[in-house]
Structure 1
Amino acid sequence: MNTFTYLFLTLLGLSLLTEVWLAARHIRYIAANRNTVPGAFRSKITLADHQKAADYTIAHTRFGRIENAYGTGLLALWTLGGGLDWLDQMLRVIGWGELATGVVFILSTLVIMGLLELPVSVYRTFVIENRFGFNKTTPRLFLADTIKQALLFGILGAPLALAALWLMQEAGELWWLYVWLLWSGFTMLLVWAYPTLIAPFFNKFKPLKEGMVRERIQALLERTGFRTRGIFVMDGSRRSAHGNAYFTGFGKTKRIVFFDTLLEHLNEREIEAVLAHELGHFKRRHVIKRMLLTFGISLFGLALLGWLVTQPWFYSGLGMSQPSMHAALMLFMLIGPVFTFFLQPLFAWGSRRHEYEADSFAADQTDAAELVSALVKLYRENASTLTPDPLHSVFYDSHPPATLRIAHLTGKT
């Protein structure tokens, strides 16, 4: 083992230990507050609902520890255990050539990884979500979704892998810049195509019916100057009882989408407030900022990979006996999360800051009390814990804890 191997193992072990430690803190903190509803919610959420949220979060967190250990073990087997090297050598025997071998290598690795992670998804869906009454997915629908995802992965992933590897092999020393341009363009294409071409492959979308809800939404859109191609309701209840709303697409493909489960639980004023919050992300340019950050990180990562592909220790340190562009790309994709794990709190902080800004925008455009009421209902219906461990929340959570978020909005009422 070389120095890079020791560095990788150290970070891999520290990441796992940190995840286990934070999960243990989270479980203890929630359990300690299980029998007391926070003061700001006592008139709105019953003790039974609070306890259900606590138990639901604890169940997910406990299983998450097993999932993290399983994922860490698989990563070690893929790299230092020789899994990737074995697959690479098996494919080279066929004699397809470097480019074809590379494409099949990457696609095969990702397919095998998906199959190995399938039991985790099955357990979460049919055991944990089922236990708490959220799962609406049938085994038949789950299988259909899995097959559709595999088909979509093949249709989109194969050409992308082929183009990226061709550029890596043929575009010279600046191949990483051209691959970045390819990846950025592909990402923008997906954002554009998702609302009209990809999402309908999995769900049904119907225009929101005429009525008070639509009238309030149209008025909100007009006074905020937001243009959209339509307001749709998605059949989220086919798969889950959880409710949500989101924007998707950009330019002329922008759509507003409500889960049918969300519309069942909120009145028209609350729906307007939730939509105003989502509009806040666009008006405060959060979507563009996040996209630019993602592009910037990917540019830095690919530039780094452009140097790593020339370093023999990078391959040998991660269990590969024969250097190649496809091996370097796959290794980089696999180990990237390990080397960026401790940056997670920084990204979470930025996301929480955006949530506060979107809440402020919603409070300016609608009644802050209605957004508070909507959030309380969503916390209750989605069994979101009101008492996360503060350190766990700082490290992971993209949204502020419920008590802080409500306090921020209450100050604007």
Structure 2
Amino acid sequence: MIKMPDDSKEEENLIKKEEFPYEYKPHLRKKSKIYSKNRLIAGLVNGFLLPSLFLAFFLISGLSAIVRDFARGLSDNFYVQVAIYGVIFFSFVTFIDLPASFYMGYIYEHKYGLSNQTAKSWFVDFFKSLLLLYLFSIPALLIFYYLLSNFQFWWVIAGLVILIFSLLVTAVVPVILIPIFYKVEPYTDEEHKRHLREMARKAGVSNIEKILVVHESAKSKKANAAFAGLGKTKRILLFDTLLEKFTRDEVEAAVAHELGHYAHKDLIKGIILDGVTIFPVLFAIDYILRSSVGLWGIYAFNDVAGFPLILLSSMLINFALSPISNAISRKFEMDADTFSLDMTNNPLAEISLEKRLADLDLEDTTPSPIVEFLFYSHPSVEKRIRNVYRWMDMHNYRPREHGRDFRGIPY
């Protein structure tokens, strides 16, 4: 069993629930700069650069055609060939990525004292993810190649299927997927549950039957809250780390933020924005595939050997568009912050929540503006706090009764 040294107990004990309003711990701010920078670089290398190089190599070297020919040798049925290719390809990709995933997901997180997970638990989650990958990706691959093979305007139908699937995933995640990876149980504070349901009602969310505690502490020290699901699957999820380390006012500020996304219909807006990008991307892939017949062992437009080209094209296009999608996401997040302030009327809790989260998660509160513009889907912590100060000015909010001046960041 791999045992990682963890010198974070003393630091973790400094983030006390009783300290309200919470103030940054200077040594954690320094530590967060290094942690966040390294994670960003690793994310770009492991999440974009290396996968792009691998896909290009797999295609150009002829490996994709070799796997295709191997699948053909096992069956004369085209869709069986596609399924065999998919199993081999996704297995290859997953195990090639395993060392980097283990380092960043287990070793690196333990190095900075953010993980409670054992190596055994990490590998159990890894194999669960692999099984889910087969369960979802192979049928998706079969549907994709069926559309590709039978419809001239396959990219229109495929785009609609992707949008519908994203809605289904939103409904399924809290019911099926989260319990696969986490212990989940009902929140037992009845008084607080009534208050959270009342908050949800004010946000326009009715019939919240379940408020659940997700046991994140078995894996990580990080904290979060979420509003998840659709229709009868709607529920509020509270990480046990949030309940343990944060005051009730801070928890309510976090929940109000999540309810803000629902009230602003950010899920629907996100799906519409996905539609705006998905159809042009699929149309571009259609053109690229037709132009690539005869190259790298690709015999036909619907040849499964061209699958790495589809992924590579999609990855490059989405990476180029990511600054735009990130900017829209940051706007959604800031609007949800303002909604939370309007609902709770508690800017001190909002500021305290942001600072405590930043220290607990080792988040860089002042990233480079260029880095934030290119890669951040959420506004930086300091920008979110400035937004609170602006809200306080607009509402003539002067918390003198707390005996503390929260001004200290010019804007």
The interval holding the TM-score normalised by the smaller chain is: 0.7 to 0.9
**Could you say what the CA RMSD is over the residues aligned between the two structures, in angstroms?**
2.2
The sequence identity of aligned pairs, in percent, is 24
Q: 2:64 aligns with which of 54, 76, 84?
A: 84
Deviation, structure 1 residue 278: 0.9
Deviation, structure 1 residue 355: 1.1
Q: 2:314 aligns with which of 336, 339, 353?
A: 336
Deviation, structure 1 residue 211: 4.6
The 1-side partners of 2:141 and 2:49 are apart by 29
SS for the counterpart of 1:412 is helix
Partner of 2:379: 400
Q: Deviations over 1:162-216 (max 9, x none)?
A: 233223223x313333333333333322222222122212212111112553243
Answer yes or no: is the 8 Å Cα contact 2:292–2:298 preserved in 1. Answer: no
The 1-side partners of 2:107 and 2:390 are apart by 40
Distance change >3 Å, CA 344–CA 204, structure 1 → 2? same
Partner of 2:359: 380
SS for the counterpart of 2:237 is strand
SS for the counterpart of 1:194 is helix
The 2-side partners of 1:72 and 1:294 are apart by 22
Q: Deviations over 1:333-359 (max 9, x none)?
A: 232121332222111111111111111
Deviation, structure 1 residue 141: 1.2
Answer yes or no: is the 8 Å Cα contact 1:362–1:368 preserved in 2. Answer: no
Partner of 1:199: 178
Partner of 1:314: 292
Deviation, structure 1 residue 47: 1.4
Partner of 2:168: 189
Answer yes or no: is the 8 Å Cα contact 1:103–1:165 preserved in 2. Answer: no
Which amino acid counterpart does residue 97 of structure 2 have in structure 1? E
Deviation, structure 1 residue 408: 0.8
Q: 1:352 aligns with which of 302, 327, 330?
A: 330
Deviation, structure 1 residue 256: 1.0
Greater shift in the superposed pair: 127-136 or 192-201: 192-201
Partner of 2:266: 286
Partner of 1:323: 300
Deviation, structure 1 residue 299: 2.6
Partner of 1:36: none
Deviation, structure 1 residue 314: 2.1
Which amino acid counterpart does residue 334 of structure 1 have in structure 2? L
The 1-side partners of 2:22 and 2:177 are apart by 42
Deviation, structure 1 residue 130: 0.6
Instruction: Within 5 Å, give how 1:18-57 maps onto structure 2.
Output: 44-57=23-36
Greater shift in the superposed pair: 269-278 or 319-328: 319-328
Deviation, structure 1 residue 123: 0.2
Matched, 1:59 2:38: yes
Answer yes or no: is the 8 Å Cα contact 2:213–2:238 preserved in 1. Answer: yes
Matched, 1:208 2:187: yes
The 1-side partners of 2:41 and 2:152 are apart by 46
Distance change >3 Å, CA 61–CA 158, structure 1 → 2? closer
- How many pairs are equivalent? 368
Matched, 1:361 2:339: yes
Distance change >3 Å, CA 256–CA 385, structure 1 → 2? same
Deviation, structure 1 residue 395: 0.4
The 1-side partners of 2:124 and 2:256 are apart by 35
The 2-side partners of 1:189 and 1:221 are apart by 22
The 1-side partners of 2:98 and 2:202 are apart by 46
Which amino acid counterpart does residue 193 of structure 2 have in structure 1? R
Matched, 1:132 2:121: no
Answer yes or no: is the 8 Å Cα contact 1:106–1:330 preserved in 2. Answer: no
Partner of 2:205: 226
Deviation, structure 1 residue 329: 4.4
Q: Deviations over 1:41-68 (max 9, x none)?
A: x981121111121221133245446535
Greater shift in the superposed pair: 141-150 or 277-286: 141-150
SS for the counterpart of 2:227 is strand
Q: Deviations over 1:22-78 (max 9, x none)?
A: xxxxxxxxxxxxxxxxxxxx9811211111212211332454465354334313312
SS for the counterpart of 1:134 is coil
The 2-side partners of 1:163 and 1:69 are apart by 28
* Divergent runs of 4+, >4 A: none
The 2-side partners of 1:153 and 1:162 are apart by 14
Partner of 1:299: 279
Which amino acid counterpart does residue 341 of structure 2 have in structure 1? A
The 2-side partners of 1:305 and 1:59 are apart by 33
Partner of 2:241: 261
TM-score (norm: length of structure 2): 0.83
SS for the counterpart of 1:372 is helix
Deviation, structure 1 residue 140: 1.5
Distance change >3 Å, CA 316–CA 130, structure 1 → 2? farther
Greater shift in the superposed pair: 173-182 or 359-368: 173-182
Which ranges in structure 1 are unaligned for 5 or more consecutive residues? 1-41
The 2-side partners of 1:105 and 1:50 are apart by 47
Partner of 1:163: 143
